[in-house]
Amino acid sequence: MIRVLVVDDHAVVRSGLRRVLDAEDDIEAVGEAPTADRAIFEAMEHKPDVVLMDVTMPGGSGVDALPALLQSVPGTRVLMLSMHDDPGYVRAAFDAGASGYVLKEAADSEVVAAVRAVAAGEQYVHPALGAKLVAANADDRRRAEADPLSEREREILRLLALGHTNQEIAGMLYISVRTAETHRAHIMQKLRLSSRAELVRYALDAGLIEASP
């Protein structure tokens, strides 16, 4: 029997989900909670196999509560329930430790299938939503390949290209000289540069500095 804790700030949603789950021979809704904080206490009491939890709730995000929840009941798996089909929400949920992500607009049969999947140790994302996530990840990789530097590294690159020393950069950015040196080494490595002249040329081409008249 798969034991499920239902977490949503709307009582009517919790009631509907419990009816859907309890209608299955192998699933039992063992409890419910209206907030992410309350979900932790209910999970510790009921020790569910799966927590079906809304992403957006008053007083605290379900995603933000995931680390504390999973630490309190390590054997429990979490299936996020959300109205958001933005890949960013999906990525954030999985990064926080979720095992699945299902939309509120999903059919009852999909919610049941998702609960069974995560209870069995699998990850679950609706195929259409999964396709969006794959596309978003591919876009992120392309952007990273086009510009592998972080904002801080671009800032340091610009200062280096303008002729500032590591000591000067450290003072300007309120960081240690060692940190400035580390950033410089990472920049040279990421951009595959071997000299200051190449660094200045890259900064010019990237529009970080202007050529002298």
CA distance 46 to 1: 14
In sequence order, what are the residues at sequence separation of 6 or more whose Cβ sits closer than 8 angstroms to the Cβ of residue 53? 7, 8, 36, 39, 62, 65, 69, 78, 79, 80, 81
Place of tokens 């859907």: 20
Contact 43, 69 (CB under 8 A): yes
Render each residue's pLDDT in the chain as its tens digit; 213 residues: 999 999 999 999 999 999 999 999 999 999 999 998 999 999 999 999 999 999 988 877 888 889 999 999 999 999 999 888 777 788 888 889 999 999 888 889 999 999 999 999 999 987 766 555 655 555 556 655 556 778 888 888 889 889 899 999 988 988 888 888 998 888 888 888 888 888 888 888 878 787 655
CA distance 213 to 201: 15
CA–CA distance from 22 to each of 11, 16, 86 (Å)? 16, 10, 30
* Closest by Cα among 126, 127, 118 to 97: 118
Positive or negative: CA dihedral 101, 104, 109, 115: positive
CA distance 178 to 168: 12
Q: What is the pLDDT of residue 212?
A: 56
In the structure encoding, which two tokens stand for residue 173, read together? Answer: 């950015």
Q: What is the pLDDT of residue 6?
A: 97
Q: What is the pLDDT of residue 95?
A: 87
Contact 67, 94 (CB under 8 A): no
Q: What is the pLDDT of residue 18?
A: 96
Q: What is the pLDDT of residue 38?
A: 93
**What number of residues does the chain have?**
213
Per-residue DSSP letter, 52: E
Q: What is the pLDDT of residue 190?
A: 84
In the chain, what are the domains? 2-139 (3.40.50.2300), 151-205 (1.10.10.10)
Q: What is the pLDDT of residue 41?
A: 94
